[in-house]
């Protein structure tokens, strides 16, 4: 059921990407037109970045204004880069920081395994365990941070590894992963609250957060 809901939400946001990418092509002069259309339709879409990595400067700005922060990532490399360093160093002090990363210990054919299989199709450098090892390293980093900052909470999820969400009480950055490229090369949607896309981003996060796969029953 959860996978079905994820599929519906992903389809909605993917449709928004298709509608706007042909128009904006990542061009700043046309962002104002996207924002106007967003107000008329109620989507909340204010900007489209051609590549996820090009949004990091604006993410850093919005993190500095946030009352709370939610991050769900397929790998989590952004968490160890400069964009998040003021948060981990204590320069920023939001009320809460919730971080979700894929479960590296999930038994059987996990969603992380499936994402790894996709990556290996176009990136020969990806060995079967490389993605898991990268996620583990980022989880260790955040776990260490959370020991010194009790408002930081880390959980894991074993659900479709299809998107990245970085959300605050004001905005959300939403990236849908392609099965044929790295997430850093995917378009990133910038949505303001309130709005449809902002709500979708929070729904994606909240479903994964409440399905925390690290809370396994003791055998």
CB 184 within 8 A of CB 23: no
On whether residue 83 sits in a domain, the answer given is yes
Element (H, E) at 142: helix 130-148
Selection from 152, 155, 189 nearest residue 172 by Cα:
189
On whether residue 69 sits in a domain, the answer given is yes
Q: Sign of torsion, CA 50 51 52 56?
A: negative
What's the whole-number average pLDDT of the chain? 83
State how far the Cα of 14 lies from the Cα of 196, in Å rounded to an integer. 13
On whether residue 191 sits in a domain, the answer given is no
Percent of the chain with pLDDT over 90: 57
Structure confidence at residue 181 (pLDDT):
78
Structure confidence at residue 182 (pLDDT):
81
Which parts of the chain have pLDDT scores under 50?
1, 3-5, 7-8, 11-15, 17-27, 29, 217-219
SS3 88: helix
On whether residue 205 sits in a domain, the answer given is yes
- Neighbour-count burial for 126-144, b at 16+ CB within 10 Å, e otherwise: beeeebbebbbebbebbee
Structure confidence at residue 86 (pLDDT):
96
On whether residue 177 sits in a domain, the answer given is no
Structure confidence at residue 21 (pLDDT):
47
Selection from 115, 206, 216 nearest residue 162 by Cα:
115
Structure confidence at residue 14 (pLDDT):
45
On whether residue 215 sits in a domain, the answer given is no
Structure confidence at residue 178 (pLDDT):
82
Task: Count how many domains the chain has.
Answer: 1
Structure confidence at residue 185 (pLDDT):
82
Domain boundaries, position 203 = 51-161+197-210
On whether residue 36 sits in a domain, the answer given is no
Beta bridge partners of 72: 100, 165
On whether residue 40 sits in a domain, the answer given is no
State how far the Cα of 103 lies from the Cα of 105, in Å rounded to an integer. 6
Beta bridge partners of 192: 171
Selection from 116, 109, 217, 98 nearest residue 168 by Cα:
98
Structure confidence at residue 41 (pLDDT):
55
């Amino acid at each position: 059921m959860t996978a079905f809901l994820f599929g519906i939400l992903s389809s909605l946001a993917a449709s928004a990407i298709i509608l706007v990418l042909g128009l904006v092509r990542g061009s700043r002069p046309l962002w104002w037109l996207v924002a106007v259309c967003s107000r008329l339709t109620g989507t909340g879409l204010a900007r489209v970045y051609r590549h996820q990595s090009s949004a990091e400067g604006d993410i850093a700005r919005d993190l500095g204004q946030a009352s709370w922060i939610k991050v769900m990532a397929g790998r989590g490399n952004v968490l160890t880069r400069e964009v998040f360093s003021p948060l981990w160093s204590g320069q920023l002090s939001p009320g809460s920081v919730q971080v979700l990363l894929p479960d590296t210990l999930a038994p059987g054919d996990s969603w992380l395994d499936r994402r790894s299989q996709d990556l290996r199709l176009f990136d020969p450098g990806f060995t079967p365990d490389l993605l898991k090892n990268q996620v583990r390293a980022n989880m260790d980093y955040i776990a260490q941070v959370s020991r010194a900052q009790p408002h930081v909470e880390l959980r894991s999820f074993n659900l479709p590894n299809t998107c990245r969400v970085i959300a605050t009480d004001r905005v959300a950055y939403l990236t849908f992963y392609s099965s044929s490229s790295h997430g850093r090369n995917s378009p990133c949607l910038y949505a303001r609250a309130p709005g449809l896309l902002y709500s979708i981003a929070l729904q994606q996060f909240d479903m994964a957060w409440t399905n925390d796969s690290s809370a396994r029953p003791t055998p």
